[in-house]
Chains A and B, each alone.
Chain A
Amino acid sequence: NAGVTQTPKFQVLKTGQSMTLQCAQDMNHEYMSWYRQDPGMGLRLIHYSVGAGITDQGEVPNGYNVSRSTTEDFPLRLLSAAPSQTSVYFCASSYGYIGRVNTEAFFGQGTRLTVV
């Protein structure tokens, strides 16, 4: 099993450009989520999904879109990149709601995004 796979690992964008960060998991997990990690800020939830066709906003959703057409994939779209979106992005999956008893979250290796 590959676990959670994120692509690309590194990306540089110009302000105003759009792009999609890919996330795929092969563990048949229902719950997937996107976080951003900034220095001194910890991990902050952007969007999450509890199953195919169902998504919801997290703490910092502005400027990002998500969709969940299959159980395996949960792409994150930046509509018009801004320097404030420079960050490391992590995708995570779990078989149930993250944080529930005995529910382990599996994280990808991250995408380091720089917006200039």
Chain B
Amino acid sequence: TQLLEQSPQFLSIQEGENLTVYCNSSSVFSSLQWYRQEPGEGPVLLVTVVTGGEVKKLKRLTFQFGDARKDSSLHITAAQTGDTGLYLCAGEDSGAGSYQLTFGKGTKLSVIP
């Protein structure tokens, strides 16, 4: 099983600040997804990145896939209280012909007003 390490595990910031969370692995992934999960809810997909070096923007959120497709980052500009939640990265594990999604343990973000 390929492992995904997310950092930091917890992050508490003031509204308006910028932040970056990281998702790292020693393995290469065909694609990587970012999800946000709010308390009592299931994860909701934010973005999928596929190409090494790819950058995708979703309003104030910027996602980057590492050149070697082993790592990814999520940058939030001017955080808002609505950004509070658990951010999960997940990589496609296509080894041995079985396609499974491997999840990191998540970064729990709290944005304080």
Contacts and interface: CB of A to CB of B under 8 A. Distances in A.
Contacts of B41: 109-110
B40 A98 contact: no
Interface in B40-84: 40-45, 48, 50
Contacts of B40: 109-110
Contact of B105 (A41, A92, A101, A103): A41
A58 B98 CA distance: 10
Contacts, number: 67
B48 A98 contact: no
Contacts of A108: 42
Contacts of A90: 42-43
B78 to A, nearest CB: 27
Contacts of A97: 92, 99
Interface in B85-99: 88, 90-94, 98-99
B98 A56 contact: yes
A40 interface: yes
Given A99-B90, A101-B48, A58 B100 contact: yes
B43 A59 contact: no
A109 B94 CA distance: 27
B43 A100 contact: no
Contact of A98 (B42, B44, B50, B99): B99
A74 interface: no
Interface in A58-116: 58-59, 90, 92, 97-105, 107-110
A98 B101 contact: yes
A102 B94 CA distance: 15
Interface of A: 4, 33, 35, 40-45, 48, 56, 58-59, 90, 92, 97-105, 107-110
14 contacts: A42-B103, A43-B88, A45-B100, A48-B100, A58-B100, A97-B99, A98-B101, A99-B30, A101-B50, A102-B48, A104-B48, A108-B42, A109-B41, A110-B42
Interface of B: 1, 30-31, 33, 40-45, 48, 50, 88, 90-94, 98-101, 103-106
Q: Which 3 A-B pairs have the closest CB atoms?
A: A107-B42, A99-B92, A97-B99
